[in-house]
Homo-oligomer: A and B are copies of this chain.
Amino acid sequence: MEGGQLQAVENNQSLAERLFVTLRGEIVEGQLAAGSKISEPELARRFSASRGSLREALMRLESLGLLERRVHVGARVVDLTERGLLDLYEVREALEGMACRLAAQNRSDEDLTELRQMLARHEQQEELQAGKAYFQPEGDFDFHFRIVQASKNDLLIDTLCNRLYYRVRMYRYQLGMASPRAKRAFREHSHIIEAIEAGDGELAELLMRRHIRASRNNIEKKLTTET
């Protein structure tokens, strides 16, 4: 348990905000173990901050669903369950499907060119490390992320990119989720972009939902056979 370095982030923000960002990272990457209890005094000492500022950060983490607080008992990091992971996939299927439908309607030309560039980069990476058998996970995130932004629905963007995003990353880091085969994921992404370019929202939604559901089924199968 090191003396904590606060990330610089943006220097002009509030202390509570920096604490929030730092702790969020530690929870996602598992340095603050899933299921473990949070001691306010201890964490406050570790960052040389007051309990008040720390508490503000904790409450933001709670609203992200990264920890649970109970009155007069304290905060615990959420624990990762198979059920929670599968639930998350179902919500993503619904929301990202809708995001694709809307992106096909509302995308700007700039959105489209950026998506195409991103896809090209992924293809290069894939060819370079063809043997490596898995996709850059961050690249996959970026792709989904970028599509959501093209939907132009602020509530949808906030829900997916600010609220569910970190939960997804937490599962990826700590349950080391099966990443779909690079080749197949690449082709699916490619088809989704084509549907978006063609303005076919119905197809774009269908493809994205199938894409996400395939991942979910993959995980579900792996979990039921392993346990």
**Chain B nearest CB, measured from A33 CB (Å):** 21
Number of copies: 2
Closest to A151 in B: B90
Given contacts A63-B63, A71-B17, A159-B159, contact A153 B90 (CB under 8 A): yes
Report A82-135 residues with CB < 8 Å from chain B CB.
Answer: 83-84, 87-88, 90-91, 93-95, 97-98, 102
Flag if B14 contacts A87 (CB, 8 Å): no
Give chain B residues whose Cβ lies under 8 Å from the Cβ of A94: 94-95, 97-98, 156
Give chain B residues whose Cβ lies under 8 Å from the Cβ of A71: 13-14, 17
Closest to A56 in B: B59
Closest to A160 in B: B91
Give chain B residues whose Cβ lies under 8 Å from the Cβ of A65: 155, 158
Flag if B88 contacts A155 (CB, 8 Å): yes
Give chain B residues whose Cβ lies under 8 Å from the Cβ of A155: 65, 84, 87-88, 90-91
**Chain B nearest CB, measured from A209 CB (Å):** 10
A selection of 7 A-B contacts at a CB cut-off of 8 Å is A17-B71, A59-B60, A60-B63, A63-B63, A88-B155, A90-B102, A91-B95
